[in-house]
Structure 1
Amino acid sequence: MALNKYMHPRNIYKTPPDFSKLAKTYKEFSDVAKVDITGKVSIDFKDPHALRVLTKSLLKSDFNLDVNIPEDRLVPTLPLRLNYILWIEDLLSVFNKNNTVWGLDIGTGACAIYPLLAAVKNKWYMIGTETDNESLEKATDNIKRNNLQHMITLKKNLTTSIFECVFLDNNQQMFDFCMCNPPFYTNIQELLESRSPARPEPKNGFTGSPHELITEGGELQFCRKIIEESKIYKKNILIFTTMVGHKYNLKELVLDLKAEGIEHTTTEFCQGRVTRWGLAWTYEDFKLSELVVAKHKSRKKNVPITISLPELPSEKNNITDYLEKMKILLLDLKIIFKIISKRKNEVNLSIIAHKNTWSNQRRKRRLLKQSLESQTKQPKLDSENHLTTEELNPSQLLSKEETNYSENKDIREEQEIIVQGVMKLYIKENHPNIEMEYLNGSAGKEGLHQIIQYIKNNWK
């Protein structure tokens, strides 16, 4: 489902760009454009070169920016970047920032897209940091070719700190905000497996270098580092912000900020079939969450499902034993799980089910029992495979037709996600509780309800 209607209300790309006009204006765009029999002009969005040309043409057409986008670097999607800039405008309005604005872009990239947009659109002064030499070189060239050296400064970050390089020469430097589009993934495998097969294929082709997409610990650890360092530089930066690519990471970061009592707010960045999230926090005495009111109708939020579970035997009433019990149940259901965080009385996990293993459990147990009873009436030695009843695998007790159906069903289902969600296991009033939130999957929220019911029925 296209999410354009959920873009920021001031985003000019809520109305799709006129490709016919772009083709007439820019020869490079005309070369990659296609015209169908009705005269409609389009491009192949899965072609990285076509995406690169489209972005360059839009930057020139809408912002009069001449930007060189290297072939081996990320092609920035303008609607998404513009959403972020517009949200920062909203945040600054809370603090009545109408005078000169200074912003810090962490990891500015080869295009320096955020500083360029901020400078030409809002006349903000920007400093961008970068660790990669080639990206820094390309970003410097893009700033020079647009004659914006007086508004944008770039700094090479040679430290392991996120902010330190900015304040080495001037620890009195003041910023109104910082922004960051962090690497989302921990490694190549996580990058390749990041998209749910249950979701529609991405409309756009894949672009970006490992340097731009991967970092040790993934975006969760990177953003946590920003939060930790923000405590050091809270007198230098008014509003700290970052983009977040995974919803379960956003939940964890919000929990971190709540635990520290830090005022914060969040938002959604929607474009095409892509959703990202924005997280902002401040150490100033402002109720950010109350003052920053959404100026557009938000999508319906997922309401977590919460249930209380019975206690285990008295010697096992702690979060570690509850977690071990939950692991057993999830393994029984063949649900893939990953521990996101663990605190004193709380564990957060991401879960993915590739097969529906929880429906009709009573029927399956009844069939198995009947099959076992039937086998016990036969001789212990099976004339065909020479296995005794005790050695038989339960799957061998199914009828041939049901076994074949099961195998074929496995082949079909292993390619899709039935349920994906986030689970919080916690102790409240000496009782174990679970809170689960549905993210996506072909079984919908009903599938999540069924999993919870299975856990409840089998907890003891």
Structure 2
Amino acid sequence: MALNKYMHPRNIYKTPPDFGKLSKLFSEFSSISKVDVTGKIMIDFKDPHSLRILTKCLLKSDFNLDVDIPEDRLVPTLPLRLNYILWIEDLLDSIQRRDNIKGIDIGTGACAIYPLLAAVKNKWNFLATETDSESLSKAQENVQKNNLQEIIQLKKNTTQSIISHVFSDDPNQEFDFCMCNPPFYSTLQELYESRSPARLPPKNGFTGSPQELITEGGELEFCRQLIKESKMYKECVNIFTTMVGHKYNVSVLIQQLKLEGIKHTHTEFCQGRVTRWGLAWTFKDYDLIKLVPPRDKPRKKHTPTIYVLPELPNRDNKTDIALNKIKEILDKLDITNNLIDKRGKNVTLDIVAHTNTWSNQRRKRRLERRIETVAKITKPNEEKDEEHKTKLNSESVSGSDLPASTRDDESVCSQDKSFDSNVDDQLVDSVQVCKGQPLVHAFLKLVKKENSTLLELEYLDGNAGKEGLHQIAQYIKNNWK
């Protein structure tokens, strides 16, 4: 479903570009476009070369920017980039900052797209950083080509820090905001497996280099480090922001900001068929969530599901004991769990399940017993068959002279092997694996109330939905004692 109607209200791309006009203005665009039977001009969005030409032509026609996009680098999607800039405009306007704006672009890339767009649109000053030498060199060419070197400075980041290096030369610098579009993935494998097979194929072709898409620990750890470093420079930057590519990371980061008492807000960037998220926080005296609310129509909040856990036999009903028991069950189910808050007798875990290991437990045990039974039958038959083969080889007996019992044994063995294989297939089918987005992502809370321990589950997202979380809760209850 197209999400253009949910774009930022000031985004010029709420109305799709006029390809006919672009075809007349730019011969490059004309060379990659074609006319369908209805007379509509189209391009192949799955072709990276076509995407590159489209973006270059839009930057020239709509912003008078000449930008060279290398073939081995990410092609920036302009509606998304513009959505991010417009949201920062809203944030700055809410705190009465409208003139002499100075921002930081972390990881500017080869196109330096954010500084270029904001410079020509708003006359913002930028310090743009980059770790990759080739991308930095190309970004410098693009800035100089558009005569914007006076308001856009570029700096090579040779450190492991995200923002700290900016202040290494001058710790007293002041900025209105920082922005960042961090790499989404932690490994190439995660990149290739990131899209759920249940989703429709992407409309656009794939572009980008590993250094633009991959970072150690993935997007979540990158953003956590940015939050950590931001505390050291809370007086130097009015508003810290970052884009977030995975929905289930947004909830984790918001929870972290809440627990640390950091004022924040967030938003959705909707464009085409893609949704991204923006997260902003500040250490100044701005109540961002009131100044710039997340959305006019906020997401439906999931009501937590609460269970009373039975008392464990021969054990005191203490939170630590319940926590150890919960972690033991989650580890058994291969559900990752991270402690994100522990205050007094209340504990909060962030849990993520990528594989369904909790369903059909009785069926799995029954199939496992049948496999064991088949193995016991199969092994003697195989040994007996091997004895027959040895005997036949020594006596040079032809296959047609084999005793009927031997042929029967071979038949039984063959059937048993076939049955064994079928059982294995059934066991594999009984476990669902979802690559990319998890099956279930939730907050699990243990709350001590009087003499009882409450299990509180707050669903965040996942392909298995709330039903998957309820199944996990039922498994915990069934295996509690």
Smaller-chain TM-score bracket: 0.7 to 0.9
Partners of 1:193 and 1:158 in 2: CA distance: 30
Q: Which residue of 2 aligns with 1:437?
A: 459
Paired letter, 1:306:
T
| CA positional deviation for 1:196 | 1.5
The DSSP-based 3-state class of the residue aligned with 2:439 is strand
Q: 2:354 aligns with which of 352, 355, 360?
A: 352
Partners of 2:97 and 2:70 in 1: CA distance: 35
Asked if 2 retains the 8 angstrom alpha-carbon contact of 1:68 and 1:142, the reply is yes
1:49-69 CA-to-partner distances (Å, cap 9, x unmatched) read: 111111111111111111100
Q: Which residue of 2 aligns with 1:321?
A: 325
Partners of 2:257 and 2:194 in 1: CA distance: 26
- How many residues get paired? 432
Asked if 2 retains the 8 angstrom alpha-carbon contact of 1:419 and 1:438, the reply is no
Partners of 1:417 and 1:170 in 2: CA distance: 41
| CA positional deviation for 1:301 | 3.1
Asked if 2 retains the 8 angstrom alpha-carbon contact of 1:302 and 1:437, the reply is no
Q: Which residue of 2 aligns with 1:424?
A: 443
Partners of 2:379 and 2:209 in 1: CA distance: 57
Partners of 1:431 and 1:351 in 2: CA distance: 23
Partners of 1:404 and 1:317 in 2: CA distance: 38
Q: Which residue of 1 aligns with 2:152?
A: 152
The DSSP-based 3-state class of the residue aligned with 1:81 is helix
Identity %: 57
Task: Describe the shift of the 1:214–1:418 C-alpha distance in structure 2 as closer, same or farther (beyond 3 A).
Answer: closer
Partners of 1:351 and 1:408 in 2: CA distance: 19
| CA positional deviation for 1:343 | 4.8
Task: Describe the shift of the 1:81–1:431 C-alpha distance in structure 2 as closer, same or farther (beyond 3 A).
Answer: same
TM-score (norm 2): 0.80
Are 1:28 and 2:50 matched, yes or no? Answer: no
Asked if 2 retains the 8 angstrom alpha-carbon contact of 1:354 and 1:418, the reply is no
Task: Describe the shift of the 1:250–1:419 C-alpha distance in structure 2 as closer, same or farther (beyond 3 A).
Answer: closer
Please list, as runs of the form range in 1=range in 2, the aligned pairs for 1:182-261 lying within 5 A after superposition: 182-261=182-261
Q: Which moved more, 1:255-264 or 1:432-441?
A: 432-441
The DSSP-based 3-state class of the residue aligned with 2:108 is coil
| CA positional deviation for 1:40 | 1.6
Q: Which residue of 1 aligns with 2:278?
A: 278
Asked if 1 retains the 8 angstrom alpha-carbon contact of 2:107 and 2:129, the reply is yes
Asked if 2 retains the 8 angstrom alpha-carbon contact of 1:354 and 1:417, the reply is no
| CA positional deviation for 1:185 | 1.1
1:100-134 CA-to-partner distances (Å, cap 9, x unmatched) read: 11111011110000000110111111110111111
Asked if 2 retains the 8 angstrom alpha-carbon contact of 1:198 and 1:418, the reply is no
Asked if 1 retains the 8 angstrom alpha-carbon contact of 2:194 and 2:436, the reply is no
The DSSP-based 3-state class of the residue aligned with 2:222 is helix
Q: Which moved more, 1:62-71 or 1:190-199?
A: 190-199
Q: Which moved more, 1:140-149 or 1:225-234?
A: 225-234
Task: Describe the shift of the 1:132–1:280 C-alpha distance in structure 2 as closer, same or farther (beyond 3 A).
Answer: same
Q: Which moved more, 1:233-242 or 1:189-198?
A: 189-198
Task: Describe the shift of the 1:455–1:203 C-alpha distance in structure 2 as closer, same or farther (beyond 3 A).
Answer: farther
Task: Describe the shift of the 1:417–1:279 C-alpha distance in structure 2 as closer, same or farther (beyond 3 A).
Answer: closer
Q: Which residue of 2 aligns with 1:267?
A: 267
| CA positional deviation for 1:154 | 0.6
